[in-house]
Structures are given as structure tokens and as C-alpha cells.
Amino acid sequence: MFDSLQLESMIELCDVNDLEVGEMRGFVLPNYPPIALYNVEGEFYCTDDTCTHGAALLTDGELDGQDVICPFHDGSFNVCSGKASSSPCIIPLKTHRIEVVGGKVMVELK
């Protein structure tokens, strides 16, 4: 289990029921770049929301299985690993650790 020290550095994003399987949502938190939360088959993943290729928000695109597809050029990233999965994307997305505690989805931002 998670000790309170670890949880102190985490930020609550939403309830687990707020995001259905196959859905994603963008969050803008003060002092951090926009982030995206994904529900892939019941597991939550979080990455930066801005494409590393162009200045587009990935949550304006589509979530297809484990891949988020950018709305600008249709490039994609695997949201679990952050790795680019199709051109023209090359640079991986930053990923952020997620914990689900007491029905809340929490993110750790560094």
C-alpha cells in the first residue's frame, strides 16, 4: 500500500467513475503543462497532453486502444509507455504516475 508521504505529492484528478473505458480527458493544473488522463480497459494512464511534434492537444484527437492519435497530423503515441507509435511523431511523451486511492484517481507530477 502507499504511505502518506507518497500520497502527499499526488494531486487528485477525478473519481474513477468520471472516465469510462476508452475515454480520455485533459486537465490543466496551475504551474504544470497540460496533462491527459486515459482509461485503457479499466487501467488509468497519464501523459502530457501536448503532442511532441506540433502544438496540438492530444485530447482533441482520438483514443484507439492504447494509442492516442493527434488531431493535427494523425501521428500517435502509446499512452502506457509514452512512446511514439506512428509518424510523424518521434519524441516520446512524458508519462506521469497514477494511483487510484479510495475511488480517486491521483497523479504524481514532477
Partner 1 sequence: MSAALGPRSVTVEANGATFSVNPGDTILRAGLRAGIPLPYECNVGCCGTCRIEVIEGETEALWPEAPGLTDRDRRRGRVLGCQALPLSDVRIRVHLETADPALTRPAEVAATLLSTRDVTSDIREFVFETPTPARFLPGQYAVLHLPGISAPRAYSMANVANTEGHWIFQVRRVPGGQGTTVLFSDAIPVGTTITLDGPYGLAYLRTDSDREIVCIAGGSGLAPMVSIARGVAQNPAFDGGALHFFYGARTPLDVCGEDLLRVLPGFSERIRYEAAVSHPVSDVDWPGWRGMVHHLVGERMGERLRDCEVYMAGPPPMIVAALEMLTADYGVDPVRVHFDRFF
Answer for the pair 25, 34: CB distance below 8 angstroms, yes or no: no
Residue with cell 484527437: 61
Q: Counting contacts by CB under 8 A, is residue 71 touching partner 1?
A: yes
Task: Determine the interface stretch with partner 1 among 1-9, 37-45, 71-79, 99-107 (rule: CB under 8 A).
Answer: 71-79
| Between 68 and 105, CB nearer to partner 1 | 68
Q: Rounded to whole angstroms, what are the CA distances from 57 to 30, 33, 96? A: 17, 11, 16
Tell me which of 7, 21, 29, 90 binds partner 1, using CB under 8 A.
90
The amino acid present at 82, given as its one-letter code, is: G
The amino acid present at 62, given as its one-letter code, is: E
Q: Counting contacts by CB under 8 A, is residue 32 touching partner 1?
A: no
| Between 16 and 26, CB nearer to partner 1 | 26
| Whole-number Å distance between alpha carbons of 82 and 48 | 9
Q: Counting contacts by CB under 8 A, is residue 91 touching partner 1?
A: yes
Tell me which of 56, 57, 80, 101 binds partner 1, using CB under 8 A.
56
